[in-house]
Structure 1
Amino acid sequence: MVAVLRGELLTHLRSPRAGYAAADGAATLIWTVVGGYLVVYYTDVAGLPAAAVGTLFLLVRMFDAIVDPVIGVVIDRTRTRWGRSRPYFLWASVPFATLAVLTFSVPDWSESGRLAWAYVTYLLLSVLYSLATIPVVSILAALTADDRERVRLSSLRTAGNLVTSVAAGAAILPLVAMLGGGDDGRGYTLAMFLLGSVSVVLFLFAFATLRERAAGDRRLRVAEVRTVMRGNLPLKIMIGGGLLINAASVTRVASTVYFCRDYLGREDLVPVLALFPVLMIVGLVLARPVAQRIGKRNALVVALIVQAIGFALPIPFGQHVGPVLAGTALASAALGLLISVEYAVLADIVDYTDWRYGVRAAGVIASLAAFSAKAGSALGGAALGWLLAAGGYRSGAEQQPAAALNAIRFCFYGLPVIVWLLVAVLLAAYKVDQQLARIRADLAAREVVADVESETRFTTRP
């Protein structure tokens, strides 16, 4: 009995589903620390001025967003015996982990020298992050053409992201304290070496377990990228909607401290609210049956509306904490559904683009999704600063002016409600779900014709 259970466990662990979850988890393990602690490391450990760090982050994110579409084209032009996307899990794993260690190892040089080190290492780390994660999105369409399996894989990917994010966030400070022995600089370096080593193992596991379906030998021409971007309405809807949602999400998350401290007078709620993303697991479990029953587009609309209700729930109750907790719980559960189905929809758009334009552009589409996320994040962070300034926010003041409190409330739940409902309306123009059966049949027929022509050329070769 034990042997049978062990065999079944090993079978599941070696499956593409486990590999796909590991691929996203490998990058998230490191990027959670970068997103949550790199600013603190730069200012408190490396001794860099806060203003210089802010400029550094803005410039690197802008450059990174511009580079993403280039990486997408490179992926679509890649031809190896392992496929187009899969080899990047192998190629990027060690460099990505190495740059993570170097980023958290600023030497004891002059201020300008330390800042130069930060620019070079963080910029290279960001590029390698894109090189490692864009293939996670682009490979999905090549793993399977089955709708149910795509949603299942997307849910497992989100689960892998969630598990590694929570693990890294919970482990990093204890690791720094334990490994550093009072020297936080040394602690961060060794902690990132440990997390980077685990990340490499997860990337290599993903490379070993995933297999791409044949994608043909045709290379994407650069001129075709403009065709894909210019006339592709479903792609425009998803990229535009993604940009808006990411911007509003960052604004909401970044305003949480202000909302709890300055409006509710309960700064102790900040770490409590940080635990609620665990409830995304509810949405992950529901993603496949909901998408199967009502379609992926409608599942996205349901997730957006439920999240908007969660965001809006505290509005009539003023400073009461209960509705804030209940609304955040509801929104977090719906977020799991939203993210899982969104990844599957991007894979459908890869098929639609191939069918409509004759261009298999999985890398470009994945890179545009990454671009919308990064550009939205930059816009959302800037929007929070602009709105706080417009409201007359006073740093360190015991009591903020009414206009500042209104700006904080708008960032925390007003703006997200508006954006989520707007994107739900935009999705009415997304019609790919109704065409999927025809798209799959036509693409399958096209592959048969291509195989016959290829075999004919081979057998008639002199």
Structure 2
Amino acid sequence: RSIGTSISVILGTAATMPLVGLFGGGDQQRGFLATAILFAGLSLIALFLLFRNCQERYEDQASPSFAVLPAIGEMVRNRAWLVCFGFTLLYFVRFGTMISLTAFFAIEVLGHPWMISILLPAISGTLLIAAFIAPPILARTGIRKGCFAACLIAVALFLLLPLTEASPPAFLALYIAASVVTSVTITGIFTMAAETVDFHEARFGTRNEGLLSAGISLATKVGMAVGSAAIAYSLGAAGYVPTAVSDTARETIRWSYYGWPVVLLALQALVVLAWPMERATRPATA
């Protein structure tokens, strides 16, 4: 799943603007609309194929019908699910801020627009690297310790980034290293999402995979939306004008690019400490 996610993000981000130009013919509004419709259609086909061909490997004996509100009440009392939801939400808030701010940062702060073509793909491309290195790391350390350490290492790397602004090679090396480390946690998220179901069954006697997964999926969407909106409001508050960028706007971009990741990664580290289970142990009861 991590590999599929990373490949799709890379292809999607790389193809978007060429498709906008192809469909829009100079009209970006029409181009973005057509591109969005194309992506939506491809997503619909993929979801249908999954529905048509995926078979359950675990047969849940519980009734497929259940009262939604009581089930949601159980879900929010599932500590594993709450940790996974919070950890995922914070990850995607950070992801949204980085995606939204990278182009502004490369142009206005670093003064090297060419770095956009490296910085943006690195955010998603390192997911592919992490898909291979994360499983053996997390299998050895466990989710709690592994993700906690990854978050702290990433915080340290982001704190060092401002010191390398004058050297593009050093900045890119440190940035890619930080992206790889943070991407390790996304593999941890996929594992946590699956294990919340086992924890739920141990506590409440039902699995409710669909409900629990939908809740985690919601965290990804809300996180991206919040992160992107936060950057838009920050730029607006700083009086950002593309044709005349003020020093205040430039400093807002600069410290947002470093500050948001540090704060959000630190919060992720705190949240994952509450993870109640590891592969080597049976689910806790609280």
Aligning the two structures, in what range does the TM-score lie when normalised by the shorter sequence? 0.7 to 0.9
Query: Which amino acid letter does the alignment assign opposite residue 260 of structure 2?
Result: L
Distance apart, 1:358 and its partner CA: 2.2
Kindly state the Cα deviation for residue 295 of structure 1 after the two structures are TM-superposed.
Answer: 0.9
Aligned counterpart for 2:253 among listed residues 408, 423, 434: 408
CA distance in 2, matches of 1:393, 1:183: 25
Aligned to 2:81: 235
Deviation at 1:325, TM superposition (A): 0.8
The answer to whether residue 155 in structure 2 is matched with residue 308 in structure 1 is: yes
| Larger RCO (alpha carbons 8 Å, 6+ apart) | 2
TM-aligned CA deviation for residue 196 of structure 1 = 4.0
Q: Residues 353 and 254 from structure 1, CA distance in 2 versus in 1: closer, same or farther, beyond 3 angstroms?
A: same
Q: Is the 8 A contact 1:176 1:191 kept in 2?
A: no
- Does the 8 Å contact 2:19/2:31 carry over to 1? no
* Gap runs ≥5 in structure 1: 1-156, 443-462
**Once the 2 structures are TM-superposed, how far is the Cα of residue 337 of structure 1 from its aligned partner?**
1.8
Number of paired residues?
A: 281
Amino acid at match of 1:269: M
Match for residue 188 of structure 2 among 337, 341, 361: 341
Distance 2:204 2:37 in 1: 44
Please say if 1:167 is aligned against 2:14. Answer: no
Matched AA of 2:105: F
Q: Which amino acid aligns with 1:274?
A: L
How many angstroms does 1:341 deviate by?
A: 1.6
- Counterpart position of 1:247: 93
Q: Does structure 1 residue 373 correspond to structure 2 residue 246?
A: no
Match for 2:266: what amino acid?
A: L
Deviating more after overlay: 321-330 vs 181-190: 181-190
Aligned partner of 2:276 among 422, 428, 431: 431
Tell me the distance in 2 between the aligned counterparts of 1:173 and 1:382. 21
1:309 CA drift (Å): 3.1
Aligned to 1:213: 58
Alpha-carbon separation, structure 1, partners of 2:32 and 2:249: 39
Deviation for aligned residue 1:230: 3.8
Whichever residue aligns with residue 222 of structure 1, its letter is V
Residue 355 of structure 1 aligns with an amino acid whose one-letter code is A
User: Is contact 2:165-2:171 (8 Å) kept?
Assistant: no
Do the aligned partners of 1:305 and 1:420 also contact (CA within 8 Å) in 2?
A: yes
The aligned residue for residue 274 of structure 1 is 120
Question: What letter corresponds to residue 421 of structure 1 in structure 2?
Answer: A
Distance 1:206 1:336, change over 3 A: farther
1:231 and 1:196, CA in 2 relative to 1: closer, same or farther beyond 3 A?
closer
1:284 Cα deviation from its structure 2 partner:
1.0
Q: Letter of the 1:228 partner, please give it.
A: E
8 A contact 2:89–2:220 mirrored in 1: yes
1:420 pairs with 265, 275, 281, which one?
Answer: 265
Which secondary structure does the structure 2 equivalent of 1:255 belong to?
helix
CA contact (8 A) 1:311 1:331 kept: yes
CA distances 1:361-390 after superposition (whole Å, capped 9, x unpaired) = 222221221222222222212221332234
| 5+ long unaligned stretches in structure 2 | none
Q: Which of 139, 145, 150 is the aligned partner of 1:292?
A: 139
Structure-2 change in CA distance of 1:261 and 1:296 (3 Å): same
Larger radius of gyration: 1
CA distance in 1, matches of 2:69, 2:35: 46
Cα gap change, 1:175/1:317 in structure 2, threshold over 3 Å: closer, same or farther?
Answer: closer
After superposition, the Cα gap between the structure-2 partners of 1:406 and 1:188, relative to the gap in structure 1 and judged at 3 Å, is closer
RMSD across aligned positions (CA): 3.3
Mapped partners of 1:391, 1:190: distance in 2 = 31
Identify if the C-alpha distance between structure 1 residues 245 and 161 changes in structure 2 by more than 3 Å, giving closer, same or farther. Answer: closer
Q: Structure 1 residues 409 and 175, CA, compared in 2 at 3 Å: closer, same or farther?
A: closer
Give the partner amino acid of 1:343.
F
Q: Percent identity?
A: 25
Give 2:179's aligned residue. Answer: 332
The CA deviation at 1:348 is 0.7
Q: Give a deviation string over 1:118-142, Cα, whole Å, max 9, x none.
A: xxxxxxxxxxxxxxxxxxxxxxxxx
CA contact 2:93–2:223 (8 Å) conserved in 1: yes
Q: Aligned partners of 1:293 and 1:330: how far apart in 2?
A: 21
Which digits, 9 at most, give the CA deviation of each residue in 1:55-85, with x for residues without a partner? xxxxxxxxxxxxxxxxxxxxxxxxxxxxxxx
Change (3 A) 1:191 1:410: closer
Aligned counterparts of 2:66 and 2:276: Cα–Cα separation in 1: 25
Give 1:389's aligned amino acid.
G
Opposite residue 349 of structure 1, the aligned amino acid is T
How far did 1:360 drift? 1.7
- 1:220–1:359 Cα contact (<8 Å) kept: no
Q: Write the distance in 1 (CA, Å) between the matches of 2:81 and 2:160.
A: 32
Q: Please say if residues 251 and 384 of structure 1, whose CA atoms lie closer than 8 Å, have aligned partners that are also in contact.
A: yes
**Paired residue for 1:383, among 208, 230, 248?**
230
TM-score normalised by L of structure 2? 0.82
How far 1:347 moved relative to its partner?
Answer: 1.0
How many Å apart are 1:407 and its aligned residue?
1.5
